[in-house]
Structure 1
Amino acid sequence: MNTTILKIIAVIAMFIDHVGFFIPNTPEWFGWIGRIAVPIFIFTIVIGFQYTSDRKKYLTRLYMFSLGMSFINLLVNYIFRDFSIADLTNNFFAPLFLIVLILSLIEKKQLKYIFLFSIWQIISLVLCSLLADIIEFPSFNSATTNAYFWGSIFGNIFAVEGGPLFILMGIFLYLARDRKINIVIVYTIFSFCCFYSSYKWGHLINTWNNLLFPFTSYQWTMISAVPLILLYNSKRGKGLKYFFYIFYPAHIIILYLIGFYLKNPPPLGP
């Protein structure tokens, strides 16, 4: 199974998951299917980083799409700000960008780059907190949504979709990439971490909990992606590179609008 097939499977699972998320009265098992999408995307981004011929271009592309998605969310949230609906926060380009950025720093094998990145994480976290909680800009329905906007711009691991746990998973997958048994161990550990964090802290409703553990109580079922990843044959496939970059924002906007109009149907008659 090549990376293109893995990405197609992940896209289908993601679409089903987002149908369940945005469209009212859909069954919960749509979300169960969707749990395999994130780990597959993380795995393929790690593989993409390993084999890309131009890592700087790869990193720049991910950041530009992350930046673009954050402003799409900003626009949509402002258009629908007067309606009682949840803010749009989806931007998985941001954690993928951070995974590739950290892997690039690791590849340099120079401690000063890791140190500078760590310092920036502290500075950007302060900036995100200042802008999101104190200044309250953008003025969305929650500080968490504000933080996601700035986190995507500043590249802060604590203020992006999925939170630091999935970024760590990407790093460990890269370190474990050469042996399939290591991949299984990494996935098992992180699936357990998702289960435990949800069980231990999932009931706490606050901004920090939403940023650190922003996933469902059944996120641990992502372990079901392991058999698919173990079938990976180290081949690239046909690519379809820009299809995945374009499909992500397009399907989210469409499903968000469909969900909005199903929840707020226009009045009939004159």
Structure 2
Amino acid sequence: MEALFKRFESMKVLSGSTLKLIALFTMMCDHVGSILLSRSELGMTPFLSIGSHGLTLYAVSRMIGRIAFPIYCFLITEGFIHTHDRKRYGISLLIFALISEIPWNLEHSGHLTHPTQNVFFTLFLGYLGICAVEKYKEDTQRLLLSLLALFGISLVLRCDYGCRGFALIVLIYVLRDKKVLQAILGSCMVSSAYAAIIAFIPINLYNGERGFIKGKALKYAFYVAYPLHIFIIYLIRLNTFGYN
């Protein structure tokens, strides 16, 4: 058993920076698929037939894209654990949620308003949920009330991934020392369970190291990549397909 444990530990080769790149790449695949490929003949024409089903670039991009969110949820919990300033960390999430809202609205509707909110709001609410778990871990009643309030806010705001996204972040944090249970329950909480299962593979290969993304410049460049790429996708959609 000890030899098996050591072998598993030796397989943990992915740094936090590598996880961030995986999450960013798969998220971009998802957005390209949902906004661009879904509207193109190339994206919707099957290139491979499996029985009576045809596989399209759109379907592949969405399958890849569903891997991103569980990894982002995990990164939020790691950020909370390792940050030197939890208040500043939360403020950064909120600021980028606000910054990302206009690109998000433009990408999805072509207008400055849209009924749903971008994923940074989900991550921010999840961060507040973790704060509540830490602050009220000795007070069950206040903890439940706080989590229910945040759960309700995620419903009202209609954040990306909704209340399940908020709950997944809290669950990953609470079960951070129970990896098998974390993966099983976490996979059941998202709409694409198969993708979540795949996502928990790199999560469990995480070695606890920060990696090459260090310092404020690279840290915020990773944050900026979210609103920047969805604004670029908006411009491509506007000039290629329009918003009719």
Segment of structure 1 superposing worse, 233-242 or 39-48: 233-242
The CA distance in 1 between the partners of 2:108 and 2:208, in whole Å, is 44
Which residue does the alignment assign to 1:231? 205
Residues 39, 220 of structure 1: CA spacing in aligned structure 2 closer, same or farther, 3 A cutoff? Answer: same
2:77–2:172 Cα contact (<8 Å) kept: yes
Runs of 4+ in 1 over 6 A off after TM superposition: none
The CA distance in 2 between the partners of 1:233 and 1:36, in whole Å, is 19
Q: Which runs of 5+ in 1 are unaligned?
A: 126-155, 196-217, 266-270
Measured after TM superposition, the shift of residue 256 of structure 1 is 1.8
Which residue does the alignment assign to 2:131? 104
Which residue does the alignment assign to 1:191? 187
Which residue does the alignment assign to 1:16? 29
SS of 2:30's equivalent in the other structure is: helix
The CA distance in 2 between the partners of 1:177 and 1:187, in whole Å, is 10
Q: Which runs of 5+ in 2 are unaligned?
A: 1-13, 44-56
The CA distance in 2 between the partners of 1:22 and 1:37, in whole Å, is 16
1:35–1:219 Cα contact (<8 Å) kept: no
Between the two proteins, what is the percent identity of the paired residues? 32
Which residue does the alignment assign to 1:80? 110
Measured after TM superposition, the shift of residue 229 of structure 1 is 1.0
State the TM-score, normalized to the length of structure 1: 0.67
Matched, 1:52 2:92: no
State the TM-score, normalized to the length of structure 2: 0.73
SS of 1:253's equivalent in the other structure is: helix
Which residue does the alignment assign to 1:94? 121
Number of equivalenced pairs = 204
Residues 191, 258 of structure 1: CA spacing in aligned structure 2 closer, same or farther, 3 A cutoff? Answer: same
Residues 73, 14 of structure 1: CA spacing in aligned structure 2 closer, same or farther, 3 A cutoff? Answer: closer
Measured after TM superposition, the shift of residue 166 of structure 1 is 1.7
The CA distance in 2 between the partners of 1:118 and 1:102, in whole Å, is 6
